[in-house]
Amino acid sequence: YIVAYRLQTESIIKKTESANFPTRYGHMKIHHYQSELDTLEWIAITAGDITNQLAPLVRLHSQCLTSDVFHSKRCDCGEQLEMSMQWIAKEGGILLYLPQEGRNIGLLNKIKSYALQDIGLDTVEANHRLGFKADEREYFIPAQILKDLGIQRVRLMTNNVNKVSELKKYDIEVVERIPLIVEPNQDNIFYLKTKQNKLGHELNL
């Protein structure tokens, strides 16, 4: 209860450094944050004058080493990251890169989940078999980073309607949800259908 109260009433994050960040998509800025609750590194990438926009584009992107870096075809994360970076570079906005590998079960457990999916379980069943909820992520730190950047209203790039309600809990208003639809492939179609049917993602599959 004390932690929950603090999350609603106090800032538990601090910006530790910022720098210019030229990318293949355009010139941006990178900001490093830390929280009082963990030793993780939270990253915000911004483009344009975000404080002059009534509701800037925002992407909350959970770290996915396998797809973001190694271009795994088991999920749609890497392609969503590229789409959101391109969009933010063009229109201005914010990408929060969140240390929540495998819906926040960590890389080792994510690979264990892959092994269970290889023998027929879906991604939700695999999480449960490993002793986790279907989705272990929390969004209070991302909400506080947005507030630190001066943002209270956003146009959120996501297929996950749960992120809209999660941000609302921490007084971030989502004025528009913008889908990030990736063409499925034979290696991720079952995974994407599971996200649609069991995790509430709007994918129109």
What burial letters (b/e) apply to 81-113, b meaning 16+ CB within 10 Å?
bebbbebbbeebbbbbbbebbbbbbeeebbebb
Q: Is 171 a catalytic residue?
A: no
Burial class (CB in 10 A: 0-12, 13-18, 19+), 145: buried
From 68, 76, 122, 135, active-site residue: 135
From 137, 171, 177, 187, active-site residue: 137
Return the residue matching tokens 């190694």: 70
DSSP 48: S
Instruction: Estimate the share of the chain in helix, then strand, then coil, as percent rounded to the nearest 5.
Output: 40, 25, 35
Q: How far is CA 150 from CA 6, 54, 153, in A?
A: 19, 11, 9
The C-alpha atoms of residue 139 and residue 126 are separated, in whole angstroms, by 23
Q: Is 38 a catalytic residue?
A: no
The C-alpha atoms of residue 47 and residue 186 are separated, in whole angstroms, by 34
The C-alpha atoms of residue 130 and residue 105 are separated, in whole angstroms, by 10
The C-alpha atoms of residue 42 and residue 52 are separated, in whole angstroms, by 24
Active site amino acids: 135, 137
